Amino acid sequence: MEEIKRLLEKASVDYVEIHIEEYEKSHVDYNGRVLKSAGKSYGMFGNIRAFHRGGWGFVSFTELKGLEKKLREAEGMARLTSSGKGGLRSLKPVKRKVKIKLPDDPRKFSLEEKKQLAEKYNKILLSNKGVFNTVVGYLDHFDRRWIFNTEGTEIMEERIYTGLRMTAFARDGTNVQTAFDSYGEQEGFNSVTSLEEMAEDVAKTAVDLLKAEKVEGGKYTVILDPKLAGVF
């Protein structure tokens, strides 16, 4: 990232900041007994924000090649929208690195191990009488973010996420019911290796809903837990 710092030294406006993010993802997806997809993906993206006398410029990018040209574009936008006055409060530069250190970092586990984990939960769902279809998905996501600016700030932060989602579809004649649950945290692979009880609950809920009484239309006072209330 020395190239980024050298580039900022060439800035010709009041203020510039550059954000860069690299990511690495793994996923496994089952639909019923069929493994629909499994794979890994990598990528990077970022943006440049420039400020000059009240005007802002913004440019995004997906590669570091030609970054100086992107800087000039952002600076040009800032000058174009400048009112000729106005400024930003100067802040002390921040220099910090936040690295992930997990013994069970999901990147250490093979795609085959992740596939076997998703398959285990899928089999639990399908083993319940009444469940005729399922959707099970595993995902882990690692990203590394940098922030640099012309005031000398240099921040690098790593984040990781591991999650798993399950859906069961139960049927009795024309009556079809669905149950869903998920778990995800900024934790390692082991955080999703013991979710058998969750899988059993999802399957049981879908099957139990087949026998649930129908609700009559009308207005009701209800209590919503965060899973539903958080939607609104």
Instruction: Please report the pLDDT score of residue 229 as a whole number.
Output: 81
* pLDDT over 70 at 12, yes or no: yes
State the Cα torsion 122-124-129-135 to the nearest 10°: -20
Instruction: Please report the pLDDT score of residue 232 as a whole number.
Output: 67
List Cβ neighbours of 35 (8 Å cut-off, separation of 6 or more): 28, 29, 115, 119
Residue linked to tokens 């069961």: 168
Query: What are the extents of the domains in the chain?
Result: 2-212
Residue linked to tokens 């191990």: 113
What single-letter DSSP state applies at residue 99?
Answer: -
Instruction: Please report the pLDDT score of residue 225 as a whole number.
Output: 86
- CATH tag for 2-212 (out of 3.40.50.1220, 3.65.10.10, 3.30.2290.10, 1.10.10.60): 3.30.2290.10
Among 114, 108, 103, residue whose Cα is nearest residue 137: 114
Average pLDDT over residues 129-152: 97
Model confidence pLDDT, tens digit, residues 34-47: 999 999 999 999 99
DSSP states along 143-189:
EEEEEEETT--EEEEEEEEEEEEEEEEEEETTEEEEEEEEEEESS-G
* pLDDT over 90 at 149, yes or no: yes
Model confidence pLDDT, tens digit, residues 61-95: 999 999 999 999 999 999 999 988 888 998 999 99
176 in Cβ contact with 170 (< 8 Å):
yes
162 in Cβ contact with 106 (< 8 Å):
yes
Model confidence pLDDT, tens digit, residues 205-232: 999 999 999 889 999 998 988 877 877 6
Q: What is the pTM of this model?
A: 0.86
26 in Cβ contact with 137 (< 8 Å):
no
